[in-house]
Amino acid sequence: MSLGESLLLMSIVEIVLSILLSLMFGWTFYNLPAFFVGVKSVKKREKTFEEWSGKVNLDYFPFFSLIVPMKNEEKVAGRILDVLLKLNYPPDRYEVIVVDDRSTDGTSKVCREFESAYPGRMRYFRREISRGKPSALNYGLKFARGEVIGVFDADNVPDPHVLLNTAKYFRDYNVVAVQGLLSSINTDENMLTKITSYEQIIQHYVLSLGKDKLGLFVPLAGTCQFVRRDVLENVGGWAEEALCEDTDLSAKLTEKGYYVKFAPEVKCWQESPSNFSQLIGQRVRWFRGCMEVSVKYGRLLKRVERRSLDAEAYFFGPFLMLLALGTYFLGLYEVFVPFNLGTYVYVLSQTAFFLTLFTLSILGVGLAYATKPRKISNVKWLPFIYLYWSIQVFVALYAFLQIILRRRREWTKTSRTGVVTEPKIASLYAERSSR
């Protein structure tokens, strides 16, 4: 290779690496203010929650329709229905609607038993053609009578005060949608569930709380979410072709000028994927769905408004993971190819290394502060979290290739095991079942 060709190659690599690093860490630093505000707010919000949770005095009780889509949920169907039908809320002010998306196990039998035991309060609908969760939600919406529509997944265990605490927010008619706090119900099942539960704390608790405080975009999470019925119908319900119907609905609400309120007092526990097969299947659907929403609602960038711009920054997340993959390949090139790419590229690579350590340190602060019990020793999980995140980078690449190759879009559910390792939930469910 001639000197001129070598210089040209170094220039190209320098430019590419500079762009990749600028986008990657620019996105990271963009989210830092929300992260720090979220960490600062955690203790204050938890203290407030302890003071009034379950003790809210309302002058009116909005009627809730709680839609629970199910498909082959025999292991957990009885648990979610038992808890939902015994919530601390006037029983004549909410209903439970189950939409069975053509289950082939004992889900139907479990649901029909509850329908018989709670006539008028729980209604069961079975569809003989399975079309996925978004379609099931729209089907349930047709039969809903409530002024507020709530959504729960079959593996959830809501806090007994979940509706009472949600109703507090809907006293303000400017609030059109509420997203509750999701926690793992099987954190201690294995190492994977431990790591995903920590990821959930950072992304769906600390960051969402910070974004809410700063008036930025808060996405719906697909479960433990509540939307005013008239607003939901105004935006056309759930997009049935979407792989991430919650993300798509969040984008539609933002486009219409509505926003989602994050409510950490509205608590719900859910099952984390317990093996890599479950995790990869779930994340491929999430990443592809988010990428497609980013392109579909790219017009949000035309609106110079902080929630719209922040929404697109959020949707762009999976694409940033692809850029991270590019830096991995450049790093491998430097290690294995006997070619000097120059001092500038070396400095950029070292900068990426130290910025990565800085990011992990910030995450460590969040973990040490937001987890219960609060222990500095929780930071020992950071290397595993980094490895876990690196694996997801390749999952994002696979999702991107599915889009490029125009693979068939198919909504696939995550299988449930019904495992509970959270002592509080085990005792809560036992208490509810004894009533």
Contacts of 328 (CB under 8 A, 6+ apart): 390, 393
For residue 159, CA distances in Å to 84, 264, 395 come to: 9, 11, 33
Q: List the structure tokens of 396.
A: 């994002």
Question: Strands 148-151 and 225-228, how do they pair?
Answer: antiparallel
Contacts of 66 (CB under 8 A, 6+ apart): 84, 94, 95, 96, 97, 150, 151, 152
The answer to whether 311 and 250 have CB atoms below 8 angstroms apart is yes
Q: Quick one: pLDDT band at residue 45, thresholds 50, 70, 90? A: low
- What integer pLDDT is reported at residue 48 of this predicted model? 53
- What integer pLDDT is reported at residue 52 of this predicted model? 47
**Residue 381, domain member (yes or no):** no
Nearest Cα residue to 149 out of 245, 230, 257: 230
Give how many domains the chain has, as a whole number. Answer: 1
Contacts of 77 (CB under 8 A, 6+ apart): 70, 107, 110, 111, 154
Nearest Cα residue to 29 out of 304, 264, 320, 306: 320
User: Residue 211 is part of which domain span?
Assistant: 53-274
Nearest Cα residue to 202 out of 422, 392, 368: 368
Q: Quick one: pLDDT band at residue 326, thresholds 50, 70, 90? A: low
- What integer pLDDT is reported at residue 101 of this predicted model? 94
The predicted-structure confidence for 238-286, as pLDDT tens digits, reads as follows: 999 999 999 999 999 999 999 999 999 999 999 999 998 999 999 999 9
For the chain, give the number of residues. 435
pLDDT beyond 90 at 327: no
The answer to whether 134 and 252 have CB atoms below 8 angstroms apart is no
Q: List the structure tokens of 426.
A: 């085990």
- What integer pLDDT is reported at residue 75 of this predicted model? 94
Q: Which has more confidence, 44 or 203?
A: 203
**Residue 404, domain member (yes or no):** no
Angle at 190 between CA 35 and CA 74, to 5 degrees: 100
Radius of gyration of the chain (CA): 23
pLDDT beyond 90 at 31: no
CA-CA distance, 393 to 229, in Å (whole number)? 37
> Within the chain, what is the greatest distance between any pair of CA atoms?
83
pLDDT beyond 70 at 360: no
**Residue 325, domain member (yes or no):** no
Characterize 278-312 residue by residue with b for buried, 16 or more Cβ atoms within 10 angstroms of its Cβ, and e for exposed. Answer: bbbbbbbbbbbbbbbbbebbeebeeeeeebbebbb
Long-range contacts of 347-353 (CB under 8 A, 24+ apart): 348/14, 348/17, 348/18, 348/21, 349/17, 351/21, 352/21, 352/24, 352/25, 352/327
- What integer pLDDT is reported at residue 103 of this predicted model? 95
Q: What residue type is assigned to position 180 of the chain?
A: G
Q: What is the mean pLDDT of residues 81-85?
A: 96
What kind and span of H or E run contains 263? Answer: strand 260-270
Question: Strands 157-158 and 225-228, how do they pair?
Answer: unpaired
State the number of CA atoms in the 13 A half-sphere of 293 facing the CB: 32
- What integer pLDDT is reported at residue 42 of this predicted model? 80
**Residue 142, domain member (yes or no):** yes
Q: What is the mean pLDDT of residues 178-191?
A: 93
Q: List the structure tokens of 408.
A: 């068939």
The answer to whether 399 and 288 have CB atoms below 8 angstroms apart is yes
**Residue 71, domain member (yes or no):** yes
- What integer pLDDT is reported at residue 73 of this predicted model? 96
pLDDT beyond 90 at 164: yes
- What integer pLDDT is reported at residue 422 of this predicted model? 85
CA-CA distance, 159 to 153, in Å (whole number)? 14
Contacts of 253 (CB under 8 A, 6+ apart): 176, 177, 220, 227, 231, 235, 259, 260
**Residue 136, domain member (yes or no):** yes
Q: Which has more confidence, 19 or 126?
A: 126
Q: Which has more confidence, 24 or 72?
A: 72
Q: What is the mean pLDDT of residues 31-44?
A: 81
**Residue 34, domain member (yes or no):** no
CA-CA distance, 220 to 248, in Å (whole number)? 9
Characterize 226-257 residue by residue with b for buried, 16 or more Cβ atoms within 10 angstroms of its Cβ, and e for exposed. Answer: bbbbebbeebebbbbebbbbbbbbbbbbbeee
Contacts of 387 (CB under 8 A, 6+ apart): none
CA-CA distance, 368 to 380, in Å (whole number)? 10
Q: What is the mean pLDDT of residues 127-145?
A: 95
User: Domain containing 169 — which CATH number?
Assistant: 3.90.550.10
- What integer pLDDT is reported at residue 392 of this predicted model? 85
Mean pLDDT computed over every residue of the chain: 84
Q: What is the mean pLDDT of residues 295-318?
A: 92
